[in-house]
Every structure is written in C-alpha cells, then in structure tokens.
Amino acid sequence: MNLKTKSSSFETPSCLLSSIIKENKLIVIFLRNNKKIVAKLKAFDKHFNLILENIREIWNEHNKKGKTTFKERHIGKMILRGDSIILVVPLKLYEDS
C-alpha cells in the first residue's frame, strides 16, 4: 500500500504514525463509540494500540427530552486499544507565514 499526500509520501500507516510521533503533532481519533479524542501520540504497536498523553475526550449526550449536551473530559495518559479506532487524523494547526 502506498499512501501519498501533497507534502510527503508514506509507505504504510505505521510510517505515518511514526512521523506524527517524531514531529510531536496532535492527532484526532474517531472511536467506535462515537467519541473523539484529541491527544499527543507517544507510541503504538502492530495492533495499533496507542499510548497517548494530554488527552481531550469529546462526545455528545442526548437526554430523554431530545436535548443534546456537549461533554468533554481531560485525561493525562492512556493506552487506547486499536480495535476501538475508526480513524486517525493528524491535526494541522494554523501557522503564521
């Protein structure tokens, strides 16, 4: 599998994750339980279990009246099991030019 972007190319998904760790970027992770995580990736294994730091977990809760509430919590460190991950996206912050 050869994944290419405009700025660089990655031979495998693990190459992309390695570059995210090297560049100390934030990532957004979409989970199977409809939650999202924004965090710093510190390490991963062949099953894509992730070691994360400075985690912000985000989700919506729906009450019986149909009202939706935005929820968020902060976690220092965690190991996230790979089979709960749907999508991992490097977070590109705006840079001054």
Is the Cα torsion angle 61, 63, 66, 67 positive or negative in sign? negative
pLDDT of residue 77: 97
**What pTM, to 2 d.p., does this model score?**
0.80
Domain ranges of the chain: 25-97
Cβ of 45: how many Cβ atoms within 10 Å?
11
Record: fold of 25-97:
SH3 type barrels. (2.30.30)
Average pLDDT for 87-91: 92
pLDDT of residue 11: 81
Average pLDDT for 72-77: 97
pLDDT of residue 8: 58
Give 97's pLDDT tier (boundaries 50, 70, 90).
very low
Note whether 84 and 32 are within 8 A (CB): yes
pLDDT of residue 96: 44
How confident is the model over 32-58, as pLDDT tens digits? 999 999 999 999 999 999 999 999 999
Note whether 83 and 50 are within 8 A (CB): no
pLDDT of residue 76: 97
